Amino acid sequence: MTDGWICLDKPKGISSNFAMVKVRKILKEKTGYVGTLDPFATGVLPIAVGRARKFIQFTEDVEKIYEFEVVFGANTDSYDETGEITETTKIIPTRDQIKKILPKFLGEIEQIPPKFSAVKINGRRACDLARQNKFVEIPSRKIFIHALKLLQFFENNQAKLQVRCSKGTYVRTLAVDIAQKLGSLCYVKELRRIKSGFFSIDRAITLEKLTEIVDTSELDDNLIPLESPLDDIPALFLERNYVSRLQNGLAVQLANSEILSSNVRLFDSESGKFCGVCYVSADGTVTAVRMFLNLGD
């Protein structure tokens, strides 16, 4: 059985779900993924393999870093290069104008996701409604921009930027809002995710490479240990009998603990094995959140 994570470098032109299914077929294991990437986007797509799927929920609410290229002077209905041009302008911002406006987008801001997005409206994806030419009214959402910088400015009306942002940020919308603030229009030409929480592009592997190494020892070098992406969660080591109680759905009371009101990674103190994620309440009561049924499960 293969358990762990594959940091996939998703190629352009396929959905995140399609990429995940490709990994499933290559490894012949059950899989799941964290954080949807648009089909035209590339980069980091964490794939949970085997028992790692149990812990996807603990890797979702993380910061992301994207690099994106924009073309000024036109807008499309999808805010990216796959859409139809809806409007053009001759107003093109300069390098200095772009750099000057970026600080205005730092911190908590509101944005409206594009109509061609996976946001659900009354149970249906906005992009599906938009393709049927149905009116889509998408409510705004609060997101957080931690850092935003201009990486390159090209003479052919294009620029490359990098953003570090919260979960739920739509980079296409951010790009369009930046252009609008500059009195211009733009669409995203390239979008690449280079970091998603623990997972970064320097650990990413392509589908082609994964296919090449699947039956070799090199696969082990590219399979990220199951508990590694949970490193920001405090660790708790308990004796085997306490671990067994938690695995059987019973609570455990701690006499003293520095960790309170928090999720913890639970380890068996005898073997050092990772056993799952528990919650330690304010009074020191430990309850299971996501556990393996036994140490060999």
Would you name the residues annotated as active-site residues?
38
Sheet with 285-291, side-by-side order of all strands: 235-238, 262-268, 274-280, 285-291, 252-253
HEC per residue, the chain? CCCEEEEEEECCCCCHHHHHHHHHHHHCCCEEECCCCCCCCEEEEEEEEHHHHHHHHHCCCCCEEEEEEEEECEEECCCECCCCEEEECCCCCCHHHHHHHHHHHCEEEEECCCCCCCCEECCEEHHHHHHCCCCCCCCCEEEEEEEEEEEEECCCCEEEEEEEECCCCCHHHHHHHHHHHCCCCEEEEEEEEEEECCEEHHHCECHHHHHHHCCCCHHHHHCECCCHHHCCCCEEEECHHHHHHHHCCCCEECCCCCCCCEEEEEEECCCCCEEEEEEECCCCEEEEEEECCCCCC
